[in-house]
Structure 1
Amino acid sequence: MRYLHTMVRVKDLDASLHFYTTLFGLTEVRRYENEKGRFTLVFLAASDDIEAARANSTPCLELTYNWDTEDYTGGRNFGHLAYEVDDIYAICQKLMDNGVIINRPPRDGHMAFVRSPDGISIEILQKGANLPAAEPWASMPNTGAW
């Protein structure tokens, strides 16, 4: 397992980038714009981590900017923790066997979401290529919020 990033939702991307880069000293290492999903992801790294972050081999801070405005209340601006795993089906099965609800099952063999006992959302991503679709995951519906 490898820790990937911490995601924080931001309301004003320019103001947030000013804070995190100009004032706080982080560096933008990659950006992803999704017109269909109407969001922008900006990954930031600390100065000692820039090269490793560009190679995607060290954790980053992910700023998520949703193009449609929303006021984030109740800590909703904190998004999730993300981990990459060797076998997404095996880890989801282990969690489920131990009473953890799989909020967003890995139907695509790539991504799942669960919550910690304290309600922290955790994204689980398959390392490398997606695994082939498999049951019970392929037909399992989402449960609750993730």
Structure 2
Amino acid sequence: MKMIHTMLRVKDMDASIAFYTEVLGMKLHSRKDYPEGKFTLAFVGYGEEADDGSIELTYNWGRDQYELGDAFGHVALAVTDIYGTCDTIKEKGGQVVREAGPMKHGTTVIAFVKDPNGYMIELIQR
């Protein structure tokens, strides 16, 4: 078995695709409208969709608000230069909500970014 994607419901597909591709540097693998179901799916990720995990962005037509709930935590991304990555994200208009630094009670260097829908993205120095 292998993890293939995580699905996030989004309120604005264009803004979400722009964030994941332009701010976080992912590639848009695919985007398809499903008129009969009144939804759009887009898949974004770093590697090839067949080989690496992706994020599935789901936009339900006419729905622009979701309750994020308190069960979901975050999506984590490994980065080689967390401080430079945070600077680049801010330069591109992204919101860094926890600056890079060691995690509480540990030594791993992490940061958190918020996407346009309010989902948290953890950056981990690797």
TM-score, normalised with respect to structure 2: 0.51
Is 2:16 the counterpart of 1:36?
A: no
How far residue 2 of structure 1 moved from its aligned partner, in angstroms, is 2.1
1:66 and 2:87 correspond: no
What per-residue deviation string (whole Å, max 9, x for no partner) do you get for residues 68-89 of structure 1?
Answer: 214211439x6xxxxxxxxxxx
Higher helix share: 1
In structure 1, stretches of 5+ residues that fail to align are 79-146
1:17 equivalent to 2:11? Answer no
Question: Deviations for 1:81-132, whole angstroms, at most 9, x for unmatched residues?
Answer: xxxxxxxxxxxxxxxxxxxxxxxxxxxxxxxxxxxxxxxxxxxxxxxxxxxx
Counterpart CA distance in 2 for 1:65 and 1:74 is 14
Matched, 1:5 2:5: yes
* TM-superposed deviation, 1:40: 0.7
Tell me, in whole angstroms, the C-alpha distance in 2 between the residues paired with 1:59 and 1:74.
22
Structure 2 residue runs without a partner (length 5+): 73-126
Runs of 4+ that moved beyond 4 A: none
8 Å contact 2:26–2:45 — kept in the other structure? yes
**Structure 2 counterpart of 1:131:** none
Name which one, 1 or 2, has greater alpha-carbon Rg: 1
| In structure 2, C-alpha distance between the alignment counterparts of 1:74 and 1:43, rounded to whole Å | 20
Q: Number of aligned pairs?
A: 71
Shift of 1:30: 1.3
Q: State the shift of 1:43 in Å.
A: 0.3
Alignment of 1:26-105 (within 5 A): 26-46=26-46, 49=47, 52-53=48-49, 56-75=50-69
